[in-house]
Amino acid sequence: MPIIGVYQFSNKFMKCASSSGKRNISAEAYVKQAVNMINKDVIKAVSKLYNISANIDDYVFPVPRAVGADFPNSNGDCFTHEELTRYSNKHRCLVYQTFRNVPIHIEHKANNKKEARGFIPDAEYISTDPRDKYVLALCAVDSKKDPALAEGLVSGDIRYFSMGCVCEAVQCSICGNKFTNDRDMCEHIRPTRRMSYFGGKQAYEKCLGVSFQELSVVGDPAYTKAATQYILNRHLF
């Protein structure tokens, strides 16, 4: 991956490489600033929860797109701009910011927090292109706990991610009805019909009351753009 910058971080220098051909200045500026804002007290606290390193020097930082706004992913789930940028009174932050401090897992095997490979120190909503809005996640992956994963992420051989979330309700894109459980769902968004077309309109679920729970490294992402955009590291793989 081409190196686009060298930043000072934690009093050392760090390379930043970009995997996307198209440069996004606001995303790059965010990454540079965010990596210097990582809170060492938070690392210490989550290191116990997730059984990961308390030493910031042990981490590599892939920065993937975590979720896109305003279109359905291949599972028929849609996260609207309105929902992602909504203030959640329950979490005291914006909905996309509930990505903060969630664990990073492999293929959504998220039952055991101690198996986490890292966590997400911060997330940002990138909306410079109104047709391509998305959440960018600054991921911290513990290279001591899973050296092969860290090496694969740095080389770009491993690059796809997928989010895990819970939502309080879903809204049908066709009839607009809202449902809080699967039993009551309208015909449009039953699992067998979801993503099919009704009178030229595609049926999918708009997720409401969202809380992000984890981000996983996966082989086959539901949101196909959920790949590493930047990678920061000072390890020499």
- Interface positions with Zn ion (CB under 5 A): 172, 174-175, 186, 188
On whether the CB atoms of residues 55 and 140 are closer than 8 A, the answer is: no
* Nearer to Zn ion among residue 74 and residue 177 (C-beta): 177
* Nearer to Zn ion among residue 108 and residue 193 (C-beta): 193
At closest approach, how far in Å is the CB of 177 from Zn ion?
Answer: 5
* Nearer to Zn ion among residue 117 and residue 188 (C-beta): 188
Q: Where are the beta strands (DSSP E) in the chain?
A: 3-9, 12-18, 59-68, 77-78, 87-88, 93-94, 103-106, 118-126, 134-142, 161-172, 178-179, 197-198, 201-202, 205-217, 228-233
Q: What residue is closest to Zn ion based on CB? A: 172
Residue for token digits 């996640």?
137
CA distance 92 to 119: 20
CA distance 96 to 88: 10
At closest approach, how far in Å is the CB of 164 from Zn ion?
Answer: 25
* Nearer to Zn ion among residue 166 and residue 175 (C-beta): 175
Tokens of 220: 């086959």
* Nearer to Zn ion among residue 137 and residue 203 (C-beta): 203
* Nearer to Zn ion among residue 83 and residue 214 (C-beta): 83
At closest approach, how far in Å is the CB of 196 from Zn ion?
Answer: 12
At closest approach, how far in Å is the CB of 167 from Zn ion?
Answer: 16
Instruction: Give the C-alpha distances (Å, rounded to integers) separating 232 from 6, 64, 171.
Output: 9, 11, 38
At closest approach, how far in Å is the CB of 67 from Zn ion?
Answer: 23
Helix (H, G, I), strand (E, B) or coil at 40: helix
DSSP state, 19?
A: -
List Cβ neighbours of 181 (8 Å cut-off, separation of 6 or more): none
At closest approach, how far in Å is the CB of 76 from Zn ion?
Answer: 12
Query: Nearest Cα to 212, choosing from 114, 36, 130, 91?
Result: 91
